[in-house]
Amino acid sequence: MTHETVAAANPGPLSGAVALVTGGSRGIGRAITLELARLGASVAINYLRHSDQAHETAETAQRLSGARAVPFKAHLGEPEQVDRLINDVANTFGGVDILINNAASGVQRPARELELRHWDWAMGINARAPWLAAKRAAAHMAERGGGSIINISSVGAARVMANYTSVGVSKAALEALTRYLAVELAPQGIRVNAVSGGLVKTDALEHFEDREQMIDRAVRDTPAGRMVTPEDIARAVAFLCLPESEMIIGQTIVVDGGMTLTWRTD
């Protein structure tokens, strides 16, 4: 299917654009993939372990809008695989217009119980990989007249959460990277922003020992009266990809239903 065919099938606001979503097969990444496809973008879905889910997400995206969707396996903790991923996507689709750095990992332990390998693992996937991907993708975006890079962060970047040190610190680094890249790349027409979610209802919560208490507290303390869903994050990401948001540059948009306005640690 050519890009022209995709555009004709779904003349949405992102028709003709090529988006890469890292960790795009499950949870927040899947919701982002489907939302971008719904708006007409062709989507490259990065995954590592769950091939069946990546292919199912690709099939769903194509049924949803007719947009092209292709899974790409890559371990983002390996720098050479990040480079290969960007090149493979650009070669397959003819370029890259949108990069969503969503893939994340980490070890749930207090700071004093973390080991060096835990630190390196979280920083490598959550901060180094987005930097490397942005470097490579920006070259392709510049050739096409601009683009959008969106990093998926967490309220744990600015607020303290139990046993969240490795992820929280890496997400803080990611938000700082967002600002530096935004200033550097804006003259080339490339906008860089971040979306930070509150407690989002995904399978990732299974890794928290006190997940039930976290969920109860999130619902109780969120002025909106419910938890954030992956679709809430996806809609914010999609907006930042549209021309209507062209003057939003270097910002971290918090999508939490107002939870951090009344944050409680008890």
Amino acid (one-letter) located at 58: A
| 171 labelled catalytic | yes
Q: How many CA atoms lie within 13 A of 135 on its CB side?
A: 12
- Cβ count within 10 A of residue 51: 12
Residues ≥6 apart with Cβ < 8 Å to 255? 195, 196, 197, 198, 228, 232, 233, 236
Q: Which of 135, 171, 180, 201 is catalytic?
A: 171
| 164 labelled catalytic | yes
Q: Which of 135, 164, 180, 201 is catalytic?
A: 164
Angle between helix axes 165-185 and 116-123 (nearest 10 degrees) is 30
Amino acid (one-letter) located at 171: K
Quote the tokens at residue 259.
């939870």
CA distances for 69 relative to 108, 121, 203, angstroms: 33, 29, 23
- Please identify every residue annotated as catalytic: 164, 171
